[in-house]
Amino acid sequence: MSVEEATFWEPYYQQGTLRWDLGQAAPPLVELLQAAKPKPGRAAVLGCGRGYDALLFADQGFEVVGFDFAPSAIAAATALAQAAGSSAQFLQRDIFELIPEFENQFDYVVEHTCFCAIAPEKRPDYVRLVRTLLRPQGELLGLFFTHQRPGGPPFGVTSEEIQQYFRADFEILSLTPNLNSIPARQGEEHIGQFRLKPLESI
């Protein structure tokens, strides 16, 4: 079964065997919101899972849409949002099919354990997707899983590779080793803020 199919991911949600699920928003994204204080706007959370990061951004005044193609992830995220009285919305979609519907619709794209979940050969498509979802000057706020183990998912990546993928289209405002990762990911995460370059400079 391929990671590119929802049927790969859906059983994990149905069985509740979610090794990646923190049960809360990722602490580095909480800290990024406090430290960088991005101006609230419209945000897309890609591969949102049960939606904790989407709820975090909605709580901070962002207008959030979380996308995931696993139906049980979207059902769980929607139920959590309703229970919390959150404005976050969740849509069951393949992220690689969001264009043209969502072209130029977002001020931010939020990345957390989606880039490591897609097949590595789809990474250029992911960069193109983020570029196309964003409005001018839009930003990618990303927590990347930079482990170096072979295979996946989660598929590892280095900080240098991330920069190679994104730097043609994005100004890398920051990309640093993350200091407040959960214990299982200590020393294996980078947090970054990338701003879309003006079209004429790409």
- Smallest gap from residue 64 Cβ to ligand SAM (A): 13
Among 58, 109, 112, 166, binds ligand SAM (CB under 6 A): 112
Among 91, 96, 99, 167, binds ligand SAM (CB under 6 A): 96
Among 72, 78, 113, 178, binds ligand SAM (CB under 6 A): 113
CA gap 95, 6 in Å, rounded? 11
Short-list 109, 94, 127, CA closest to 10 = 94
Q: For ligand SAM, which stretch binds (CB under 6 A), given 89-97, 101-109, 162-170, 188-196?
A: 89-97
Count of residues binding ligand SAM (CB under 6 A)?
Answer: 20
Among 11, 36, 61, 94, binds ligand SAM (CB under 6 A): 94
140 Cβ neighbours under 8 A, 6+ residues apart: 108, 109, 111, 130, 134, 166, 170, 192, 193, 194, 196
Among 21, 31, 59, 161, binds ligand SAM (CB under 6 A): 21
- Smallest gap from residue 123 Cβ to ligand SAM (A): 12
Buried b (16+ CB within 10 A) or exposed e, 38-57: bebebbbbbbbbbbbbbbbb
Instruction: Note the residues at the interface with ligand SAM (CB under 6 A).
Output: 9, 20-21, 47-50, 67-70, 73, 94-96, 112-114, 117-118
